[in-house]
Structure 1
């Protein structure tokens, strides 16, 4: 990863207060100053026409941070330049002066400098020595070279460049449509040649073309996730209805068996067992469907979050990889829940038939059967299933 910086069309220097007071120190340019000035002069004409790739951390460490405390220069902590043209923050320069003053106080009076407040300070970078007083320390000039660099960085657009994993230091500037994959310049020559049927376009053009597709995919994922949650809630309501049906059905069984208690004690137990068995079997089916919906919803949420993160990070390769996974995952038929989509549910009833006729056949009296009926009108979640059209990405 590296930082891609696009210089602004008109980079206007920030108007920092000049800290020069009184007589300025010698401004004879150092070699570093001359080299930097020459580089800036040589690139002035091309700033509006070129972009640059640089290591932002290294650039900041070398030019925009105090070499002593490593804090970054700011508008309220501007770089101050020593006579040797090396710059540090005012706090660190004051600290150097204070240490030199304390060391001077430790000397015997016979070897102290004649000037009562003058001390000798060594530059931490080049070890150049200069004599300073409290007055000269306060009058150190602002290093406007660094100020200009601070302003340049502040007014410069930047974004992350992803390099090709196959070809070292080659940025992913192109996109192969058939392969649905960002590629570098070397890839277009070696592995994704148009002569072999690969259709390569500029990466920015591909982003402009497919960003709406990705946004639509995220919208569909979010919408389907909401649909799954609504179905799960509706299914919970159906499950509660099944519990009520079970209670009512057991009441019917009890009422019938009470009239024939002496003859049908054995059969009553069998029927109760059948009720529990059938209802629990149906409950298990509903629970399984609910778990299936929840599982699919979690997967959809994870995919949507990954796709959002990759899109926010401008990680193009990850975006299209996740998008491919989404297409493959959703290629199958949509989940249909009969109790919700079709409004049909499995219920139970007690078939008593002719009690008088069956009194002599009590051993086989009664049965628990199932029936399908329309779900409650309160559950109107007849949402059409989402069909993910993978061809839209072509």
Structure 2
């Protein structure tokens, strides 16, 4: 039962479609092998992705496939189908008899024919002369056997004979009839036994898998390094944002302080001028009121007086009226006011547009003499172009 436990541990990988996560079966969710990414995807998902068109974009790696025969032209994955059958036997699920038309539940399997047999068909199977020596195994016995011992019978789809040879020329597994017809050695085909081809190709694929494992280890190191660099970039970004905000907050504080100083200066200077102007205004208003009231009063009184009274009044008021002619308001500043001159603003504004500098430090991989690449050898510092005017303050 240990092999069954191993199969159970990887059942999600081998018995479930990676797209819909539904279990494969031999009716609707038939596992179809994708040649681009070495993955098996159920037929239902592939039909959904292809939408009935003769082209298919692989759901896993997006590789484009031209399938004139549709999704069904992709090969079935026999290993998964075999694992499914073995799991059904182990779990005691229903498997129909292959030979009888009634679909009776199978009880055993013929290793030579690769068929499932009910009890009646098993008895008949043993009575047929050519099949008397066939090895049959009951499901009870198969539950105790490792899953790898549960093999399917591979037959040629054209000649219905066991697949025993491999044609290197066509890269195809063939039967004995194929070797004397389509894959005849006299026609230039290189045909060897399945065992010989398997031995040679197994060595080749094992070497490739070792190299891929080494490549995966190298890629994992690069991945971890890139993740670390990604995190460092995020940290440097936040630090740059903090530095920029701090620098400009300080600059804004300086500008606010300068604005406060200028506004206070305006207030102080305008207060002095306004005070002097107000004093002149008050003095002028007082003299005007006195002159106006005295003049109007004298005119009205004279219009009511006789000559004697008029003569008396003129004698008493002539000196006062004459003194009013000499009165003058306090001296004013003439035309005065305050104004703001944007001195140096024509120089400050361009400098503000160039204030600060964002730099990108990039470590580019370079190839060492030993052929390895290092991510830390070549450093490039990139920043925005700064006009010569930026250095007008003679700062480095």
Structure with the greater relative contact order (CA < 8 A, sep ≥ 6): 1 or 2?
1
Higher alpha-carbon Rg = 2
TM (normalized to structure 1)?
Answer: 0.31
